[in-house]
Structure 1
């Protein structure tokens, strides 16, 4: 068993993430997970990412506040414990349009 304590989770830099702080909870350099990795991102009010696609699918779960997920075709605001899946190659942007911080989990293949 490999445990990552939130208090000991290591931050990582994600390109084109603005007013966000990201922590690696599982996978990559955090643990020996070989199929997925899990990150937790904290978005300040106005925090956002660029509209960008990844070659692999992504799953997001909001754990605090509200986060708007924008794609080329739609935009949806997710609240606490709402989730969404983005297909491989589907461009997305995350935006915190509120005046309160928000937090979102990301799960994706390694």
Structure 2
């Protein structure tokens, strides 16, 4: 068993993420995983990512506040414990349009 305590989770830099603090909870340099890694991002009011795609599937779960997920064709605001899946190659932008901080979990393949 490999445990990552939130108090000991290490930050990581994510390109084109603004007004956000990202922590690695599982996978990559945090723990040994075979298929997936888990990150937690804290978005300040106005925090956002650029509209960008990834070659792999992404799953997001909001754990605090509200986060708007935008694709080239739609926009949805996710609240506490709402989730969404983005297909490989599907561009997305995350943005916190509120005046309160928000937090979102990310799960994606290690490869």
TM class by smaller structure: over 0.9
1:13 aligns with 2:10: no
- 2-side partners of 1:83 and 1:26: how far apart? 19
The unaligned stretches of length 5 or more in structure 2 are none
When normalised by structure 1's length, the TM-score is: 1.00
- 2-side partners of 1:82 and 1:73: how far apart? 20
Cα RMSD, aligned residues only:
0.2
When normalised by structure 2's length, the TM-score is: 0.99
- 2-side partners of 1:34 and 1:70: how far apart? 30
- 1-side partners of 2:35 and 2:13: how far apart? 21
Q: Secondary structure at the match of 1:2?
A: coil
- 1-side partners of 2:57 and 2:73: how far apart? 17
2:96 paired residue number: 96
- 1-side partners of 2:99 and 2:54: how far apart? 28
- 2-side partners of 1:78 and 1:69: how far apart? 7
Q: Secondary structure at the match of 2:90?
A: coil
Shift in Å at residue 34 of structure 1?
1.6
The unaligned stretches of length 5 or more in structure 1 are none
1:78 paired residue number: 78
1:26 aligns with 2:26: yes
Shift in Å at residue 53 of structure 1?
0.1
